[in-house]
Amino acid sequence: MSWYVFFVRTGREEQVKQLINEWLDSEVYKPFIPLQERLFKVAGIVKKEWAPLFPSYVFIESNLPDLQFVTSTNSMICTSSDIIRLLRYSKFEASMRDSEKQMLESLCNDSYCIESSTGIIEGDNICILDGPLKGRGSIVKKIDRHKRQAVIQLEFMGDIRLVRVALEIISKV
């Protein structure tokens, strides 16, 4: 199965997902929005919230080849004011590359969500004990302990993106 990515208007990801389900065959096209868990403290209580991992992007899982996918979704892209364009590497390569797809799949759970991780800081090194970032300390570029977030580096459609994900640091040694 290949992944394709639509660039959409910010805040309209859920509406575009529903539009794809209405316009296209749900057995061939499976739209999803990768989410991330966010931790924040309100009045001394830690709360969890889900937010898009890549705002303004809707992913579609399909087994169609690139050219057939582009031609079948072109009319929907042209008629919808919420879909800006289909992301591509080149004129003939539209599906997400396997290395990028595998990295996202390894971080996400079955419902395409990146859950929070827990870890400790030992001097200058990060040791992640639990969660999707376990064993991947090298992709963590920055930690904000007060906001309970880590900035990780992901390759997305040929670009390097810095993405914030939930990381709870339980101690600093």
Q: Per-residue pLDDT for the chain (173 aa), expressed as one digit of tens each?
A: 899 999 999 999 999 999 999 998 888 999 999 999 988 788 888 888 999 999 999 999 999 998 999 998 998 999 999 999 999 998 888 899 999 999 999 999 999 999 999 999 888 888 899 999 998 888 899 998 888 899 999 999 889 999 999 998 888 88
Could you tell me which of 96, 172, 93, 164 has the C-alpha nearest to residue 127? 172
CATH topology of domain 2-172: Alpha-Beta Plaits (3.30.70)
The full set of domain ranges for the chain reads 2-172
How many helices and strands (H and E) does the chain possess?
3, 12
Q: How far apart are CA 122 and CA 147, in angstroms?
A: 19
